[in-house]
């Protein structure tokens, strides 16, 4: 279904271009559907499966043929009784359980590809979601900055008119100050446009869908993002972070590496066992010069190497494999600690972002809006001029800009938090996402489920 949606979107507009970025859920689906990593990972997995089948087989038998003991004076096959035509076959037997262990190792390496695909899906979801939110909030900031520039231009015009008519004791210095501030806001507008273009470029890397030069992001209620983040914070307040991090695909991949190291240790241990070779040969002898038949020869033998005679090498190989196993186990534990610390950091950042959001929204934004209403009433009652009304409007826009900035940070922290607790995303956070999507008549899966289902469908 995701691939059909990808094709439909790619052929939606004429000439093959879209003037609006798809919704966040659709972007996630398209990014997973168009990611070529899965095909490459599946190919590597199948390759390792075939390597496993090949490893669990005996070595090829060896066929030997020779003519032995030929007299060099006549090169006659009947002159000497020792002359014979010999055909033999040799078969080497596996050294202990080395073949079985080698096959298991390839199977474990193949299983790791499934884990790596889950990790890749989670990273794609995180990167595309962050890029989508960066563009979305950059577009909102552009709109607010455009409104601010318009009001500042109106304030400058009003003050210039007041200064020219000398109806008020206004100084030219205030006009110059406002002009400098206007240039700074216009420069910020250019920076935000660059930020939006960067977000679009990052989305284009994953989607490969042609857009118009300046695609628009669809509107979305940011209160939904705040409620999702708050609900997620409540669900992750008293949880076993270490236990959940241990289920993360990145840690599971390291667990697979630890299993591979165990297989390497078992394989190195098997190298101390003898390797047997069974051989058999048949020697055909020609009749003698008198025409009498000679008896043919049948030979059967066994060869064995003796690794016990060189114990130093095998002990060193086993110790090396043991050290690698210990290092792999330590790497996994260190990664759990690192991811747990990063999760704690991101969660704290999200906690303060939510607090700042409520602070700005409930106090600063409401206060500036009340100030704007007061200035407007004063203007209507001739107790304030138009510049005061416009400046109050600019203060309200500044509060909205601050709130937009906090919301952008909150979205980034939320995506990182979901990435670190993927198992929690599958169970807890997905409930919030499904509720919000039903309210918009969408049935798209949540971030964690998208990463999970895209790999399960394989």
pLDDT in tens, 282-300: 999 887 777 788 888 999 9
* Cα 144 from Cα 142, distance rounded (Å): 5
The residue with tokens 């209620």 is 221
Topology of 2-59+98-272+310-456 in CATH? Outer membrane efflux proteins (OEP) (1.20.1600)
Please determine, for residue 42, whether its predicted confidence score (pLDDT) is greater than 90. Answer: yes
Which pLDDT value is given to residue 50? Answer: 94
Q: Map tokens 């060099």 to a residue.
A: 72
Q: What is the pLDDT of residues 425-440, one digit of tens each?
A: 433 333 333 333 333 3
Q: How far apart are CA 218 and CA 221, in angstroms?
A: 10
Q: Is the pLDDT of residue 370 over 60?
A: yes
pLDDT at residue 384 above 80?
Answer: no
What is the Cα–Cα distance from 130 to 346, expressed in whole angstroms? 14
Pair 42, 458: CB distance under 8 Å: yes
> To 10 degrees, what angle do helices 366-380 and 386-420 make?
160
pLDDT tens sequence across 219-229 = 888 889 999 99
Band of pLDDT at residue 38, cut at 50, 70 and 90: very high
Pairing of strands 211-216, 18-20: parallel
Say yes or no to pLDDT of 210 above 80.
Answer: no
Q: Is the whole model's pTM more than 0.85, yes or no? A: no
Residue 13 has pLDDT above 80, yes or no: no
Residue 447 burial by Cβ neighbours in a 10 Å radius (0-12, 13-18, 19+): buried
For the chain, the residue count is 458
Tens digit of each residue's pLDDT (9 = 90 or more) over 299-320:
999 999 888 888 888 899 999 9
How far is 124 from 31, CA to CA, in rounded Å?
A: 7
How many other CB atoms are found less than 10 A from the CB of residue 64?
A: 11
């Amino acid at each position: 279904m995701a691939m059909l949606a990808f094709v439909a979107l790619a052929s939606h507009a004429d000439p093959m271009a879209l003037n609006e970025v798809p919704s966040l859920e659709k972007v996630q689906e398209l990014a997973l559907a168009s990611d070529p990593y899965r095909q490459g990972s599946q190919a590597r997995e199948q390759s390792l499966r075939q390597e496993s089948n090949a490893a669990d087989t005996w070595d090829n038998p060896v066929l030997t043929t020779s003519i032995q003991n030929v007299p060099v004076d006549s090169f006659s096959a009947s002159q000497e009784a020792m002359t014979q035509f010999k055909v033999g076959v040799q078969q080497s037997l596996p050294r202990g359980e080395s073949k079985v262990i080698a096959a298991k190792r390839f199977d474990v390496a193949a299983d790791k590809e499934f884990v790596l695909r889950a990790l890749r899906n989670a990273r794609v979801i995180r990167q595309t979601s962050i890029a989508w939110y960066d563009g979305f909030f950059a577009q909102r900031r552009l709109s607010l900055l455009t409104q601010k520039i318009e009001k500042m231009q109106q304030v400058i015009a009003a003050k210039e008119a007041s200064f020219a008519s000398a109806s008020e004791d206004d100084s030219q210095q205030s006009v110059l100050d406002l002009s400098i501030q206007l240039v700074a806001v216009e420069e910020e507008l250019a920076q935000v446009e660059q930020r939006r273009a960067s977000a679009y470029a990052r989305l284009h890397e994953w989607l490969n869908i042609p857009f118009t030069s300046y695609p628009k992001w669809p509107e979305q209620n940011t209160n939904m993002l705040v409620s999702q983040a708050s609900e997620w914070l409540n669900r992750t307040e008293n949880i076993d972070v270490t236990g959940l991090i241990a289920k993360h695909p990145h840690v599971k991949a390291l667990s697979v590496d630890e299993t591979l190291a165990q297989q390497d240790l078992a394989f190195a241990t098997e190298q101390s066992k003898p390797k047997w070779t069974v051989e058999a040969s048949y020697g055909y002898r020609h009749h003698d010069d008198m025409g009498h038949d000679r008896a043919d020869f049948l030979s059967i033998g066994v060869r064995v190497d003796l690794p016990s005679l060189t114990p130093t090498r095998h002990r060193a190989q086993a110790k090396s494999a043991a050290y690698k196993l210990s290092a792999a186990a330590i790497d996994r534990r260190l990664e759990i600690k690192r991811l747990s610390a990063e999760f704690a950091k991101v969660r704290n950042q999200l906690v303060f972002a939510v607090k700042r959001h409520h602070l700005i929204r409930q106090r600063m934004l409401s206060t500036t809006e009340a100030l704007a209403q007061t200035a407007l009433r004063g203007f209507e009652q001739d107790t304030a001029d138009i510049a005061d009304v416009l400046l109050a409007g600019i203060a309200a826009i500044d509060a909205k800009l601050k709130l937009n900035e906090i919301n952008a940070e909150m979205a980034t922290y939320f995506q990182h938090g979901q990435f670190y607790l993927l198992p929690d995303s599958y169970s807890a956070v997905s409930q919030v996402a499904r509720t919000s999507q039903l309210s918009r008549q969408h049935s798209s899966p949540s971030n964690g489920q998208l990463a999970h289902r895209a790999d399960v469908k394989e």
